[in-house]
Amino acid sequence: MNIDSFLLRFILHSIRQLNGARSQAGLANILYGKRNHQTWIDMHHLQLQSSYKFLEKEEAALLDEALLNLMRFKLIERRDESIFLTSAGISYLENENPSAADFYERDGRVIGMMNRFWSGLHLLVQTLSNLLQGNRKFLPAVREERIQEQVKRWVGKYGIVRGARGIKEELRRLISQFSPLHQELLLLRLSGHHRVSLTFLQLSRRLGYSYWRTKWEWERALSLLYHQMLQTEFHYLSDLMSSDSGLYSASSRKTWLLLQKNLSVAEISQIRGLKESTIMDHIVEIALMEKDFPFSSFLTENELREVEEVKQKTGFTRLREFKERLPHLSYFQIRLALTLLGVGVSHGVKHIT
Amino acid sequence: MELNILLNERFGFQDFRPGQKEIIEAILGGKHVLGVLATGSGKTLCYQMLSQLLDGLTIVVSPLISLMEDQWTRMRQTGFKDVGILHSALAKDRLQKEWQMIEQKKRKLILLSPERLTNPAFLERLAQHQISLLAIDEAHCVSQWGYDFRPDYLKIKDSYPVLRNPLVMALTGTASPKVQSDILYHLGIEDAEKIILSMNRPNIAYHVERVKGDEEKRSFLIRELPRLTGPGIIYAGTRRETEELADWLSDRLKMEIPAYHAGLPTENRALIQTQFIHGQTPLLVATTAFGMGIDKENIRFVIHYQMPTSIEGYLQETGRIGRDGKDGVAILLYTPDDFAITASVLDYSIPNYNQIKEFYHRLILQGDNLSIHHEESDHLPLKAFLYRLEQGDWIESVRTSENGKYHYILKKELDEEDISLIAAEWEQLRMEKRKGLACFNLIISANDCLRKGIHQYFGEKDHGFSLFCCTHCGIDLRMYYTHSRTETEISAQPRSWEEELELLLPIK
């Protein structure tokens, strides 16, 4: 895949958000959506949700090349291990379309979940389309067995004719509200009895946008479809949603179930046969997502306030810096506190922003 | 049951293709088999039918996960629900389900990636069931002399004792006599019955287009692609060249020609493959990553933009033409400079002295943390190096974890002499491969029948008679022209979204 000006601006946007807090490897982890705890936490602390998982792991060489380009154009500069925008970089980011503000709309945390939903819808439409034509054998556009099972159950539940009518009507209602670009993108990403979905490169050629702009617009279209579907009653479509919330790993979910039974870290570690540090990682991940997370068993309100004060006074972003100021707190407690502050817990009053 | 009746009732074919029945009967007679059957001549049927005839499980070792997944889907679509699949990229729940099916005796045939057989825990579990046959697909991967060497294949024979020595059936489409004896040796089946069929495909014509350089290659494509009957594949040398050429051709010919290579995101690869099989895109520019296991019978031409690194590879890639038995043409765009370029690509794939030193330093530095993914074929030189160290007892047998990674522990250090020795071995391999390439170059540039040259290389004396044989014997490319497109291309005229929706789900 080639680098285009859209991708360069997207990376500039991510570098601005990062503000020198992490090295190039940290930036790469965010952009490639690495599923480890540090990346997940970084994403929340540094407000990098919009950049998370925009690139595929197969596109690993792209970032190096893009950064070289940005350096050459003097849009970014390196100071020690960190990367910063130059003033030319800031103005390039601000004065082009789509506006820098549009980048913030994206939420990389739900990309995985939305893609799973889309895989189900894609395969369902292909299946119904073929069955309506009497084709019982076709090459499935989605190979994941879990999705195939889900679609089989769906067709079993609603039947071909009723199901096809229902899904068509709901798609029509939803898509009619979108822009012509998003309408076309959504339809051409579906497969049917007469054709297979187009790839992003093929779509970009057809629509006359660059590759990365097309991919970004596609994610916007999918996000619109997904969120509108959640807001109103779309019976047939919402039945394709996976029961798996996808917000955190299956392993963390098991830890969360045990936490709700008031077990300690040591007890959970013993039951699950995992290291205590792993359980702590889970706890930090859960704290990001669960509204009713009982943080007081790990951290007093005073300790939380201490971390908040240091953060406000110094603007620190590295754990080591906090630890030097607050040696009586463990790294786990600092990470947890920063996580809670990041999602909007302050002085014991919880408000999700 | 009589084999022909089974063939008819269960598989829907009237007759066996040459070699199939002989292979099946040899296995039923209790012999190991080496089967060399030309690409597209129905190797799958051999193990699929045997799985129905033998009491225990048939294990099929296959080199690529994508290939395995395709085979699995295809077999299930044709009504064989007793086919299972076990590879390192399988999701945990699917893996559990597969084991459950095996334990409930609902599986007769299991597709497996070779590295599974190196995992002791996996082998123990598998060995609790009766294994009647171990079929090794693309068996040429075991040979360093072959064009697609995979070190994991070398370890397959270590699994025989645990699996209580099942019958072994090694299958390949292309193997020179040297590769054949390598297969027999490395798979430990020297006493196997050999069923070697001619690799000649009379319905494929071989054309070499001599050009002066890249510009003329491109002019040829612009001139001929609109005329040639598709579908067709253009093989380019590198990933980058594939993308550039596809872009350039799409612009110049005003049609959508996708690029395909192993570096594309999985979803893209799957879509392009499906579009091609469906005939939605009649042309593709690809690296050699495209093709193995592609079930498309009506490919009418293959164009090599660069000279392939071996005759075996060339035969494998052109063998995708005309599986339906109808005529097709293989075109090689050739400049005398190509030999040097291809030779340097070849050199790159074999570790040299400096690389060996570098790998060794990595090993020393990282200790037992050195791990690589199985699917990283880019690391082939590194994998070959690690295998060699293991063989020489320099590193400890691999601990294979469930996530598809290998870990290596250094047992004793290598000295300068050891490194020189390994380098010399590979130097010999490089020379052999260079010799093969030079031979190919000679066949292409000589003023003699191409088909004869190729088949002599494989030790075949009689290459049969083809009406449309090769450039030297006389073919006219116009034979392969078309005036109408039979494949359905996606409408170039944009439709409204409502019309698209109506087409997808035509129901009131």
State whether the Cα torsion B8-B13-B15-B17 is positive or negative: negative
Q: Decide: B109 and B51 in contact? Cβ < 8 Å.
A: yes
β-strands B395-400, B405-410 pairing: antiparallel
Domain spans of chain A, in order of start: 5-106, 111-238, 248-282, 294-353
Q: Do A193 and A133 touch, CB atoms closer than 8 A?
A: yes
Per residue, the 3-state secondary structure of A21-57, as one string, reads CCCHHHHHHHHCCCCCHHHHHHHHHCCCCCCCCCCCH
Distance CA B363, CA B353 (A): 15
Lookup: tokens for B239: 């990933």
3-state secondary structure of B314: helix
Secondary structure string (H, E, C) spanning B273-293? HHHHHHCCCCEEEECCCCCCC
Cα angle A153-A159-A165, degrees, rounded to a multiple of 5? 120
Q: What is the spatial distance between Cα B293 and Cα B137, in angstroms, rounded to a whole number? A: 11
Give dist(CA A116, CA A342) in Å, integer.
Answer: 27
Helix/strand/coil (H, E, C) string of B232-272?
A: EEEECCCHHHHHHHHHHHHHHHCCCCCEECCCCCHHHHHHH
Pairing of strands B283-286, B328-334: unpaired
Q: Would the CATH topology of B3-196 be identical to that of B199-494?
A: yes
B503 interfacial to chain A (CB closer than 8 Å): yes
> Do B176 and B165 form a contact (C-beta atoms < 8 A)?
no
Architecture of domain B199-494: 3-Layer(aba) Sandwich (3.40)
Chain B residues lying within 8 Å of A2, measured CB to CB? 243
**Domain at B3-196, CATH class:** alpha beta
Rounded CA gap, B506 and A305, in Å? 61
- The residue assigned the tokens 């070792």 is B61
CA B479 to mean position of chain CA atoms = 29
**What is the bridge-based pairing of β-strands B109-112 and B57-61?**
parallel
What is d(CA B312, CA B140) in angstroms, rounded to the nearest whole number? 10
In sequence order, what are the beta bridge partners of B169? Answer: B33, B135
Can you give the pLDDT at residue B279?
87
CA distance B66 to B266: 10
- To the nearest whole Å, the CA of A119 is away from the closest chain B CA by 11
Q: What are the E-state strand segments in B405-485?
A: 405-410
Residue type at position A77? E
pLDDT of residue A107: 86
- Report d(CA A346, CA A305) in Å as an integer: 8
| Chain A CB within 8 Å of residue B274 CB | yes
Please identify which residue in the block is written with the tokens 């080199």: B63
Query: Kindly report the CA angle at B487 between B471 and A186, in degrees rounded to 5?
Result: 135
pLDDT at B494: 66
| CA B42 – CA B38 distance, rounded (Å) | 9
> In one letter, which amino acid is A100?
A
Q: Is the Cβ of B258 closer than 8 Å to some Cβ of chain A?
A: yes
Averaged pLDDT, groups of 10, chain B, 508 residues long: 86 90 95 89 90 95 82 84 87 85 94 88 93 95 77 90 96 88 95 91 93 95 93 93 94 92 83 89 91 82 94 90 91 93 85 84 67 50 76 65 57 83 87 91 91 88 77 87 54 76 92
pTM value is 0.77
**Tens digit of pLDDT at every position of chain A (353 positions):** 678 889 999 999 999 988 888 888 889 988 988 776 677 777 777 788 889 889 987 777 788 889 999 999 999 998 888 899 999 999 888 887 777 778 888 888 788 888 889 999 999 999 999 999 998 888 888 887 788 888 999 999 999 999 999 999 999 999 999 999 999 999 999 999 989 999 998 999 888 899 999 999 999 999 999 988 877 778 899 888 765 545 566 677 778 888 877 888 888 888 888 888 888 888 887 887 776 677 788 888 899 899 889 888 887 777 778 888 899 999 888 888 888 876 554 433 333 32
B254 touches chain A (CB under 8 A): no
Nearest CA in chain A to B243: A1
Q: Please give the pLDDT value at position B367.
A: 60
The tokens for B48 are 């699929």
The H or E element spanning position A313 is: helix A301-314
Pick the residue of B77, B497, B498 with the most A CBs within 10 A to test the interface with A by mutation. B497
Residues in chain A within 8 Å Cβ distance of B91? 144-146
Closest CA in chain B for residue A181 = B497
Location of structure tokens 């309506």: A132
- β-strand partners of B333: B209
A-chain CB neighbours of B506 within 8 Å are 129, 132-133
Q: Please tell me which of the candidates B266, B272, B280 has its beta carbon nearest to residue A195.
A: B280
> Domain residues of chain B, as ranges?
3-196, 199-494
